[in-house]
Amino acid sequence: MNSCKKFALGALVGMLSLVAASPGSAQGDGSVRLRIVGGLAGVNQYTRQEEPFWTKELPKLTGGKATAEIVAFDRAGIRGQEMLRLMQLGVVPFGTALLPLTTALEPSFAAADLAGLSPDMRVVRKAVAAFRPYLDKTLRERYGIELLAIYAYPAQVIFCNKPFASLADLAGRRTRTSSPPQADLIEALGGVPVQTAFADIMANMKSGNIECAITGTMSGNTIGLPEVTSHLHTMAINWGLSIFGANAGAWNALSPELRATLKQELPKLETAIWNEAERETVDGIACNVGSPSCTDGRKFKMTEVKPAPTDDARRRSIFASTVLSRWVHRCGAQCAEIWNQTIGPVVGTDGRAK
């Protein structure tokens, strides 16, 4: 093994030992301390929901019998694309994985959050409800992961640093994407997709490497994206769905009482995160454009680009002809059947090859 590979392996082992080499540790008083890998650092889902639940609420709920430490995956040195495998191996016993970033290992998991599928919260809730039984079964049987929650970020929308009036105006623009389906959508609009990590959006926008970025309405506000962009298209491209789960071995190692508590309380956390995502979708737009209704974010003076009359028809056409068909092509014929047995009937789109 050459020195570079040895260094990389050593760095990975060291990082993972900091995150979670075991489900948790027994304390001298008989309590258990869990190690959790959460979602994206710095956004409200993590700071207002995930982190307080594990560090403050869990000890209260268990009378101090269980405590937890949590680190955001993008501050733990973990690539989002690695989370599902690390959870499967038990290296990360309790973890949060962004569904679009799991697709290299399991392409079918992209189905519920394909770009262009859900222009509003009503549709994404229906899609997730239809897909959840398949997701739960596949995680348990194929990956040895217990699905404990599904989270949503605020609507992923388009920020640009130059004026535009409709989706058609994205042609030729270099646009930040975070998944292949987002890239498919941008390509179909004539744009140039640039795969960019959330933490790197600002640097890439400032350097001119990208001209537009798809990210959450409030997430963009939080990182100051309106400081370097001027126009905001408010149609949801997708919702940044993520799963929270436990390696089966780690889950089964917990006491029956603690498992029961988590099974009871994590759905409440999930509901709170979804409600906040819905509220922050609206508030993020309000804050980015400087509306008096802005409550939680910083006020900026972006120009709101409301969907043009042609935009929804364009979205639906591109979704069916490009995004869905390319996903089926990458995923395989079985994914067309999965689609048609889960999400297809509730959105009225057939997944079979055109």
Model pLDDT for residues 11-23, shown as the tens digit of each residue: 344 444 444 445 5
Cβ contact 19:250 at 8 Å: no
Mean pLDDT to the nearest integer, 244-266: 97
Q: Does residue 168 have a pLDDT over 80? A: yes
SS3 content of the chain, % helix, strand, coil (to 5): 55, 20, 30
As given in the structure block, the two tokens for residue 108 are 């079918």
Angle between helices 121-143 and 256-289 (to 10 degrees): 140
Model pLDDT for residues 99-112, shown as the tens digit of each residue: 988 988 999 999 99
pLDDT of residue 256: 96
Cα–Cα distances in angstroms (integers) from residue 199 to residues 80, 98, 164, 252, 302, in the given order: 12, 14, 25, 34, 21
Cα–Cα distances in angstroms (integers) from residue 260 to residues 18, 71, 195, 254, 256, in the given order: 27, 24, 40, 10, 6
pLDDT of residue 3: 38
- Give me the residues paired with residue 37 across strands: 71, 95
φ/ψ (deg, to 5) at 57: -75, -40
Mean pLDDT to the nearest integer, 126-145: 98
Task: Tell me the C-alpha distance between 169 and 163, whole Å.
Answer: 9
Cβ contact 210:159 at 8 Å: no
Cα–Cα distances in angstroms (integers) from residue 20 to residues 69, 143, 277, in the given order: 10, 18, 28
Domains, the chain: 31-152+240-281 (3.40.190.170), 156-239+290-347 (3.40.190.170)
- Please report which confidence band the pLDDT of residue 319 belongs to, taking 50, 70 and 90 as the band edges: very high
Taking alpha carbons only, the member of 26, 271, 21, 263 closest to residue 146 is: 263
pLDDT of residue 1: 43
Element housing 233 (H / E)? strand 231-238
Task: Tell me the C-alpha distance between 235 and 178, whole Å.
Answer: 17
Other residues' Cβ atoms within 10 Å of the Cβ of residue 103: 21
